[in-house]
Each structure stands twice: as C-alpha cells, then as structure tokens.
Amino acid sequence: MTNKNKHILLISYVFPPYYGIGGRRWAKHADGLTKLGYTVHVICAKNPFKKTSLWYDVVKNNPKIILHQLPAWYPKVLVDFEHNFFQKILYKFWVTILPAFTKGSFLDRTIFWKRPMLKKATEIIRKNQITHVICTGGPFGVMRFSTLLKKRFSNLFLINDLRDPWTWGPNWGFPSLSESRMAHERKMEAETMERSDVISVPSDDMREYLISRYPEQENKFIRIPHFFDPEELKLVNSPKKQSKTLRFVMYGNIYHNIEPFIKKTIELFAKHTTETSLDVYTDKLEYAKLFKAGGASNVSFHPQLPAVELFNKFNDYDFVFLLNPKYNRNNISTKFYEIIYTKTPIFIFCDDGLGPKFLVNNNLGIHSDLSNIEEKFEAVVKRKYTFNYNKEYDIREYSLENIVQTISHSLKQEAAVRVDARLKNVLLTFDYELFLGSKSGTAMNCIIEPTNNILDLLSKYNIKKSLFFVDTVYLMRLASIEGDKGAEADYALILEQLSQILKSGHYIFPHIHPHWLQAEYNKRTKHWVLNDLDKYRFHNISNDEKNLLFNMSINFIKKLQENAGVFYKIDSYRAGGWCIQPFEDFKPFFEKYEIKYDFSVLSSFKLLNEKFYYNFSNFPKEKIYKFDSFIEKEDPAGKFTEFSITNIILSNKEKIQNKFFLKVLYKLNYKNFGDGHAVVKQEDKAIVSDSFVRNANNNIEMTSIELLTIPKLKLYKKFTENNSFIHFITHPKMLNKHNIFCFEKYLKFLHRNYMIETDYKRIVNNIENKQ
C-alpha cells in the first residue's frame, strides 16, 4: 500500500494560526513534507486567541498545505482567561457544567470535536483518495476519534503522534482527575494504542513507558524526535561581545509546577545583581512582577521574538538559562537542539534526568538541582567553574530535514507492515576486537578507524540498535597496564568510541576471549602477542576464572552505560571464537546475569579441535529458536533464545568471479584496516583463520560486511528479497574501503525497497508472528 498521489491528511487541533507552541512540531513537519512532494491537508481548530502563531507564515505561504479550519467548539475562557469579574463568572460556569458532557477530562479541548472532525476527514479522504492519516495530540481525545476512520476506510494507515504524555502526564488536568474519569481516559488511550498502525513519540522515555504499559503493541511505537530548523536559525557570524557581567538568556514557555525553581532563580539573580543579567523572552510576562518583587532588578522580561531575530541575539549572552519541570527532565527538547546549533552553553536548573545528562556528558552545558544550585551558580558567576564547551558536537542528525526524511520513510514503508514481504529484519552485529594471534594489531587500525567508518554509515542511513560485542577481557588487560602512554591513549580512545556507540542508539554486549588472560604486551611495538592458546576456549578455564570474566564484563558495560547516560538490560552475549559448546559451561552465568539471548551459532559450520571446538553441523534450522540446557536442541519452553548467523551459498561461478575480483583489489592496494595476525586454527589438516571460517561445503559462507564485494552484492540483495531475516556478523578489523563502499550500496538498496527492523527484540516478535 503506497501513497502514489502523495496526498496525506494531518489532524491537529492546535495548528497555526492557532496560537501556542503546540502547533510548531507539525507545522514545520508539514512544510518539510511538501518539499518532498507531498500535499498536506490539515484539519485544525480556528484560532480563539487575539495573538497568532509564530509559525503561521510557514503555513499560509505554502500552497501545498491546505487548511480546513473547524470551529474550536470549546469555551474560550478556559484557554484564554482574562482577569476580570465577568471572565471569572464565566470560567466558574464552564468548570461546573462541562464535566457533565464527558466521562474523561473536561480540559480536553476536543470533547465536542468528534462529529465535525470525522465528517470533514471523511470528505477529504474520499475526495483526494488519501490512504495515510497522521493525527497528533494533546489534546488527546481527537487521537481516539481518528481511529474511527479505520472503520470507514479499510485501507487507511493511521499514525497517531503523542507530543506529550497522555494519562501519565502532569498536564491537561490529569493529576486531579477522579478515579472514574482517569479510568475512562486510560480506556481511550488503550484503544488508541490498539487501533493505530503506528504511535510516534518525541522521546525515548515516552516510548519506554508505552512499551511497559502496552507490551503487546511494542512494534508500533517509534520515535520522531524534536528537531531544529536551520532556516529559523540563520545566524550572522560575528565575534561574541565581551562583558564583565555574566549574561544569561531564557526564552519560550515557563512551565507549570516549577515554583521552587523559580523562587530559587529569583534569589540567585537578586543576590548577584551587579555580576549577572538575565533577559527573558516569553509570553508569560506576568512572571516579571515576581522577579521585581524578589529584588532581581537585573532580570528583564521581553515579548517573544521571531526565531531568526531571537537566536541572533545569543551572541550577546554567555549562557542560556533553562528551567525544566520534573516531568520533563528526561526530555531532550527542541530547545536543546536550537541552542546547541548556536554554540551557546546551557545552564540547566532542574532535577537530574536524561536531558541534563545528555548536556553534561557531551560538554554542552552545566547542570544543577536544588541541592547544589547556590554553590554551582556562585562558582560560575565567580568564573571558578571550569567548563570547556564542545563546539564540535554534530547536531545534524536532529535537523528538520533529517527528521522529515524519517517521517517520509514511515509514510512509505510503515504501510508496508501490512504487506509482510516488505518488512526486512536486518540484524547487524559487530565483534569489537583486535586480532587474536601472534600480532594483535593496533587499536587505532583494528578497532577505532574501521568502527568509525561503520558508525558514519549507520548514522547516515538512520540505523540504530546494531549490536557491538566488545572483547571485554582485552579491555581489562589494557586498563591494567601502568606507565605506558600508548596503552593509556588506546584505552581512552576506546572508551570514547564506546560511549559514542551507546549515544548513537546502539547496544554493547560482552564478547569473552579468555586467552587474553595469558597475552603479553610489547610496549615498543604497541602490539599484543597471544601465542598461548590453552585458554582460547571458555571450556578450558577454571570456574573461578569464568565467574571473574563474566562479572568483570557485566560491570564494565554497566559503567559504560552510566558514563554515557544510556541504560538498557545487558541480556545478550556472543562467545569468543564461536565456542559456545558445551552450553553447560555458560548456563549458570546466563542465569546469574539474566542473559536471555545468544548470537554465537554459525549454522552448518564446525571446527573439531579441543582448543577451538565448535560443531554446528546438526543444529535447528530455524533462524531464531528457543533452547534451554542444550544449545543444539530447540526447546519451545526454553529460557534462552538463539539468533543464528546467516549463511549464503555461492555458486562455483560466483566463487571464481569473486576470487578474481579480490586479486584485482589486492593489486589496487585495497588492504584491510587491521594490521595484525589472526590466530591459526587447525582441524586435522585443514587450516582456517578466525576471520573467515569455512564449512565442509566450501560454497557456504557467513554473511558479513568484511566479505561483501561487488560480485557478491547481487547475491546479498537476492537473499534479502527472498528472506525476511538476515543476520550479519562483522569484524571491523577485517574491513577495507571496498567493503564499506559495498555496504553503503546495500543500505541504499534496503532503504529504497523495504521497511527495515534492526532491533533484536522486535525481530524476535516479527519472526515469531510470521511463524
């Protein structure tokens, strides 16, 4: 089901010219979608305010945004209260009578909008043959009403966008609702989740909440993050003006329920009237009286300004001062991206959460809460607080253009979920390690540089949730070397890159090579020697060593998560050298550390040698299967899940073509990034390397970016066309520039033709549902 005529319907009660920040998100998205060829029909409420949206020009000057304004059908006094006697009487009247007209929150402005909205939507859909509808809230009732359109149009694909939390949020009157009214709202929320095709949210914490609340709908929840628009931020390059006064600026909405923070802010600026200044650009000008009464004469309030004018003033300020309510502390909002684009440091005053962690971890701002604000603010004012702003932070991922591309991709491909063949489950896994033989190679060449190439491509194509299996024992040994600047520099670079991997939305899990315990480090060459292979296999080490390595690995990754401000369950594992047998060696540790998923099985391959043993000859044929005590046997009731690495079969002709092509690459000096030597593994008289393990049938090989060449690209595409699941295993150390080039070609093919799922937990559900 594709939207050939590229007409879509957007239902947004709050939309320009309707006044308020709520209309910005989809006004800008709608404008961006028209630049991609869409015509956007918008059903919205007429503006009841005297003021007009700051983003109305974006809408009225775009002929491909077609407004269908309906009466607001909600008492104006409840949204635009004027403080006079008549207004107070009118306000009390509606607050008293309105609850009789709804079973839920009477502060939902769409309670009388159901019939007129559905009538207009039906008319627009029929006239323009629309198959895609986007509805956004709050107010939230309209989202539930939009699901009724699916009863009228069987082929309709519906995306419901939650701009704010619904029943679990602090606004729209929910905290004060009676039990019965809250029950009704929860019922509407649940029906909306069930009947929508996709639910989009702006933040990870909202998505995580919805997954915990509605786990059966997990596959529907996607993130369309907040954004910044470079067109709104046409900055004039000029040197920052110097001043003896520390200059702060604050702008936009002043949230409810932050009275203690406002009170403390007034005290701070009143205490430092000659050393600081604060300019506030907001429509909440009534707060000026509080600051004045508190003695903060150095704080000035101003009406809101158009974005271009406002952000060009930032050159006159040293910090942007942000106040975030507790319910917003995990939100990385539009403001963050706008401010980062201007390269102005942020001083954020709020409870701890993902938002402040993001700023602090990336050296983009300073965070304080009520417990330490006086001390930290004093240090900043006295210029005693050391802060090196990160001017190199790459904010491009969150540009409006990129986010609109994500929405457009959803409009094309999310509908394809209904056509099963168009969904492709692509599992990208990487073994983050050095070479494991007589010469390990350097961290820069084997790990840092090739992994950066991979991360750049994943970011370019908006691919997240890849799995990096990190050789934790190597890192334990590296960290233990004292007095060697080269080793210390390698460790610092690796920690920095691992943090980047987490912040980019990928997973890190343990990958244990026990023979690192006996490795020797050469301080002159900066290489390791791993000639002692007695402990190569997990089976060949003691129980105490096994427990030590698992405990160290889990704690190391937890520390990485803490430093990056990214948290998830460490529930997955890949055995070093594929040596996952016998599974009885691993089961106690899987159970102890709650590991549920394994990625070690290379189906049909074997290596019969005591030091390196694995034998996957007669394993289950299912791509993903459950097992318990024996990894060789499928057990539908098993505690653990195996993700088998995918194999492809080359014809003799394809093998010869590829062999010839590899010789050409060698002549053209296409060498691998890695500069080490692989461990040599011997099975009888057959010798294979740790980077390319062959099956008894030499025409079978694992799917891997390091093995991907132009002659094989067609084979990989054909396999993807004919299968719903493909599991790549890749060793960055084995990559060359040609592999990277081919991988990008493959990613372009995926994005052009399919909806892609890369999250291993969702892939499990997709495969099980198909089976």
pLDDT digits over 128-153, tens only? 889 899 999 989 999 999 999 988 77
Strands 755-757 and 572-575, by their bridges, are unpaired
In this structure, CATH architecture of domain 230-397? 3-Layer(aba) Sandwich (3.40)
Q: What is the mean pLDDT of residues 577-596?
A: 96
pLDDT of 421 strictly over 70: no
Give the DSSP letter of residue 145. H
Main-chain dihedrals φ then ψ at residue 382, nearest 5 degrees: -85, 5
pLDDT given at position 124: 94
Higher confidence at residue 347 or residue 394? 347
* SS3 call for 18: coil
Q: What is the mean pLDDT of residues 678-699?
A: 54
* SS3 call for 227: coil
Q: What is the mean pLDDT of residues 291-306?
A: 95
Q: Count other Cβ atoms within 10 Å, centred on residue 92.
A: 11
In this structure, CATH architecture of domain 7-223? 3-Layer(aba) Sandwich (3.40)
- Please report, for residues 415, 468, 512, 730, 739, the alpha-carbon distance to residue 431 in angstroms, rounded to integers and kept in the order given: 34, 6, 10, 6, 16
474: amino acid identity, one letter: Y
Mean pLDDT lowest among 338-342, 468-472, 678-682: 678-682
Q: Minimal CA–CA distance to 9: which of 162, 138, 118? A: 118
pLDDT given at position 681: 67
pTM of the shown model:
0.53
Q: Minimal CA–CA distance to 58: which of 3, 13, 113, 16? A: 16
Quote the CA–CA distance of 605 and 608 in Å, as a whole number. Answer: 10
Quote the CA–CA distance of 478 and 332 in Å, as a whole number. Answer: 35
Quote the CA–CA distance of 100 and 467 in Å, as a whole number. Answer: 53
In this structure, CATH architecture of domain 420-770? Alpha-Beta Barrel (3.20)
pLDDT digits over 697-711, tens only? 578 899 999 999 999
Instruction: Report residue 466 CA to chain centroid gap.
Output: 11
Q: Which residues contact 446 (CB under 8 A, 6 or more apart)?
A: 433, 434, 435, 440, 673, 674, 675, 676, 732, 733
Confidence of residue 679 (pLDDT cuts 50, 70, 90): confident
pLDDT given at position 682: 58
Mean pLDDT lowest among 228-242, 433-447, 575-589: 228-242
Q: What is the mean pLDDT of residues 730-745?
A: 96
Give me 67's structure tokens.
């407004």
Q: What is the mean pLDDT of residues 34-62?
A: 93
Looking from the CA of 236 toward its CB, the CA atoms found within 13 Å total 10
Mean pLDDT lowest among 10-24, 282-296, 651-665, 713-727: 651-665
pLDDT given at position 574: 97
Strand partners for 135: 11, 160
Quote the CA–CA distance of 771 and 527 in Å, as a whole number. Answer: 48
Asked if the domains 7-223 and 230-397 are classified in one and the same CATH topology, the answer is yes
Is the distance from CB of 435 to CB of 734 less than 8 angstroms? Answer: no
Q: What is the mean pLDDT of residues 337-364?
A: 93
Quote the CA–CA distance of 663 and 670 in Å, as a whole number. Answer: 10
Q: Which residues contact 624 (CB under 8 A, 6 or more apart)?
A: 641, 642, 643, 644, 725, 763, 764, 767, 768
Calculate what percentage of the chain has a pLDDT beyond 90. 66
pLDDT of 691 strictly over 80: no
* SS3 call for 733: helix
Give the DSSP letter of residue 80. S
Q: Count other Cβ atoms within 10 Å, centred on residue 653.
A: 9
Between CA 549 and CA 556, with CA 553 as vertex, the angle to 5 degrees is 140
pLDDT of 718 strictly over 60: yes
Q: Minimal CA–CA distance to 142: which of 182, 115, 168? A: 115
Q: Minimal CA–CA distance to 550: which of 596, 586, 519? A: 586
pLDDT digits over 5-20, tens only? 589 999 999 999 999 8
If you average pLDDT over every residue of the chain, what do you get? Answer: 90
Main-chain dihedrals φ then ψ at residue 607, nearest 5 degrees: -150, 105
Quote the CA–CA distance of 332 and 336 in Å, as a whole number. Answer: 6
Confidence of residue 686 (pLDDT cuts 50, 70, 90): very low
Is the distance from CB of 707 to CB of 730 less than 8 angstroms? Answer: no
pLDDT of 322 strictly over 70: yes
207: amino acid identity, one letter: R
Rounded CA Rg of the chain: 29
pLDDT digits over 598-618, tens only? 999 998 899 988 889 999 988
Is the distance from CB of 751 to CB of 743 less than 8 angstroms? Answer: no
Quote the CA–CA distance of 388 and 363 in Å, as a whole number. Answer: 7
Confidence of residue 293 (pLDDT cuts 50, 70, 90): very high
pLDDT given at position 770: 55
Q: Minimal CA–CA distance to 172: which of 197, 137, 145? A: 137
- Most distant CA pair in the chain, distance: 97
pLDDT given at position 629: 94
pLDDT of 520 strictly over 50: yes
Q: What is the mean pLDDT of residues 239-262?
A: 89
pLDDT of 577 strictly over 60: yes
Is the distance from CB of 636 to CB of 722 less than 8 angstroms? Answer: no
Q: Count other Cβ atoms within 10 Å, centred on residue 628.
A: 15
* SS3 call for 134: strand
pLDDT given at position 155: 75
pLDDT given at position 685: 40
Which stretch, 107-116, 666-675, 760-769, has highest mean pLDDT?
Answer: 107-116
Mean pLDDT lowest among 81-95, 585-599, 601-615: 81-95
Strand partners for 469: 431, 509
634: amino acid identity, one letter: E
pLDDT given at position 416: 37
Main-chain dihedrals φ then ψ at residue 347, nearest 5 degrees: -110, 105
pLDDT given at position 473: 96
pLDDT of 462 strictly over 90: no
Is the distance from CB of 124 to CB of 11 less than 8 angstroms? Answer: no
- Return the H-helix or E-strand segment holding 602: none
Q: Where are the alpha helices (DSSP H) in 465-569?
A: 472-480, 485-503, 543-564
Residue recorded with tokens 């701890």: 352
Each domain of the chain, given as residue ranges in start order, spans 7-223, 230-397, 420-770
